[in-house]
Chains A and B, each alone.
Chain A
């Protein structure tokens, strides 16, 4: 079961040696944690969401913040239970067919065009339902009693990076380095050097 936001905030404030939140208002901690959580989820896909997209005949491009909702990007597409392949990068759609904008048929491929558009190929000749899946845009936490989106073990990294950002405020840059290094090791990323190497 997911923890509530208050548990995470308390934990972060203890790490900052500010258990009463005098220097770090709880609302600010929640705000930063929410932003770290949604970014981390985009990278790791800890929490996925589904969206049923009803295609429109003749329409090849769909917006991620209008036609599709709740997904940061699309990572898997199925029609019925049939997996549809991704075309990477999206410009290969033109190589697949110079007329992919107008080629009509049932959907055989898809691509993300940047982070704002979702493309299907060929253009649906009749409306069909695509099952999209991708990292969920985890909600902004505003209340202490809200459940967080991550499981405890995944929330640890988000909490560490939140602490790093709050220490950045106070220019405790060595601590920022240490914490991002530990978070990086947990994520199997060498990010600490990236964060600090140019600064030194």
Chain B
């Protein structure tokens, strides 16, 4: 289903009191927030030429990387400190079969495979993603969570009690479809 269907649902459930422009922004926020949980998961297989020196650029719709494999071998997620301890100060120059990955440039959405692959290969990602075409069983909870944000913000239609009930109903319907939302984001698995 489309983003438009969810935005229409938001308008319907709030008796057309929501601000459509702001609701669109808040809808995107909710979708990104869901990306921190294992809800919209997908896999990505991409050919990675050796010439890229192990720098892998994540696609823009990737929210959270759950697992990475190089030619079907799982890569450990490691900090730069751990890589320095394991491979020495020149860890970025070592070449071989990749054993680990680290987030290299977060703002550029880049990962670095360590050691740098000497041959071409395939990177497989298991990831969460943001997308517009939500499955329709997810639209109701997303609409309710967007309503919470829309009616919490400062505006001429602010209604905190309505917003909180909408959020809790949103959590309830999320739980129905198999998503448990915690107040604290889950820590990254190492």
Q: Is the CB of B72 within 8 A of A101?
A: yes
Considering the chains assembled together, what is the distance between the CA atoms of A63 and B39 in angstroms?
12
Q: Is the CB of B66 within 8 A of A113?
A: yes
Contacts of B43 in A (CB 8 A): 61, 63, 117
CB contact list, A10-41 vs B, under 8 A = 28, 31-32, 35-36, 38-40
Stretch of A49-57, A148-156, A165-173 lying at the B interface? A165-173
- Residue from A35, A94, A180 within 8 A of B139 (CB atoms): A35
Chain B residue nearest to A66 (CB atoms) is: B42
Binding site for A on B (CB under 8 A): 9, 12-15, 37-43, 66-67, 69, 72-74, 124, 126, 128, 135-137, 139-141, 159, 161-162, 164-169, 171-173, 175-179, 189
Q: Is the CB of A195 within 8 A of B169?
A: yes
Q: Is the CB of A101 within 8 A of B41?
A: no
Pairs of residues from A and B, 5 with the lowest C-beta to C-beta distance, nearest first: A114-B41, A114-B38, A116-B41, A43-B176, A199-B164
* Known contacts A115-B40, A116-B41: A39-B176 contact under CB 8 Å: yes
16 CB-based A-B contacts, threshold 8 Å? A32-B13, A35-B137, A35-B139, A38-B137, A39-B176, A42-B137, A43-B175, A43-B177, A73-B178, A91-B189, A94-B74, A101-B69, A115-B39, A164-B169, A191-B172, A199-B164
Q: Is the CB of A31 within 8 A of B137?
A: no
